[in-house]
């Protein structure tokens, strides 16, 4: 079992690595070559920049039973399809029961933006300490549920 983190712009890398370290679970951070990440515990893999390059590299490593941390619904869907667990940095679990709806909502929002001529939305709300705690609780619960102690 392995934790794979889509580390480009992930606000909870340190928290996820700390929880993994406590449990002795190996971690791989994947990011494009324009990010500077280091870790004294996790393996860091730099991937050439390009559309979906990190996503493809992550999926090439993903195995059944792994845990994937990503904010990308498409990556989450592929991870679930490979028998892995998937979680968002907000602590929301991606599951086979909710991923289709999430992908459809993303598609419909993109169509609405295109039709309205608005291609950019306001970014997400500021990530708070409460958000970090919520993620940590959800991540630990996922590992417990998966029998990873």
- All structural domains of the chain, each given as residue ranges with its CATH number in brackets, are 3-145 (3.40.50)
State how beta strands 93-94 and 85-87 pair: antiparallel
Residue 99 has pLDDT above 70, yes or no: yes
Q: Is the pLDDT of residue 71 over 70?
A: yes
* First CA to last CA distance, the chain: 11
**Dihedral pair phi/psi, residue 119, rounded to 5°:** -100, -10
| Pairing assessment for the beta strands 3-6 and 27-32 based on DSSP bridges | parallel
pLDDT at 118 over 90: no
Q: What are the φ/ψ torsions at residue 113 (nearest 5 degrees)?
A: -65, -45
User: Which sign does the torsion angle of CA 123, 105, 140, 32 carry?
Assistant: negative
Cα-flanking dihedrals φ and ψ of residue 69, to 5°? -105, 115
Q: Is this structure's pTM higher than 0.95?
A: no
pLDDT class of 121 with cuts at 50, 70, 90? low
Residue 31's CB: how many other CB atoms inside 10 A? 22
pLDDT score of 106 more than 70: no
| 5-19, 95-109, 110-124, 132-146: least confidently modelled range | 110-124
Dihedral pair phi/psi, residue 29, rounded to 5°: -95, 125
Tell me the two tokens of residue 66.
């792994």
Give the position of tokens 């939305």.
121
């Amino acid at each position: 079992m392995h934790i794979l983190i889509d580390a480009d712009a992930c606000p909870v890398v340190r928290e996820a690595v700390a929880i993994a370290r406590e449990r002795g679970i190996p971690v791989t951070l994947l990011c494009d070559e324009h990010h500077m990440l280091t870790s004294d515990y996790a393996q860091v893999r730099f991937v050439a920049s390009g559309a979906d390059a990190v996503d493809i590299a992550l999926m090439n490593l993903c195995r059944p039973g792994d845990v994937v941390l990503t904010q990308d619904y498409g990556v989450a869907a592929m991870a679930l399809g490979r028998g892995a667990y998937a979680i968002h940095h907000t602590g929301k679990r991606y599951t086979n029961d909710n991923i289709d709806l999430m992908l459809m909502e993303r598609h419909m929002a993109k169509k609405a933006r295109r039709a309205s001529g608005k291609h950019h939305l306001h970014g997400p709300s500021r990530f708070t300490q409460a958000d970090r705690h919520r993620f940590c609780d959800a991540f630990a619960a996922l590992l417990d549920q998966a029998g990873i102690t």
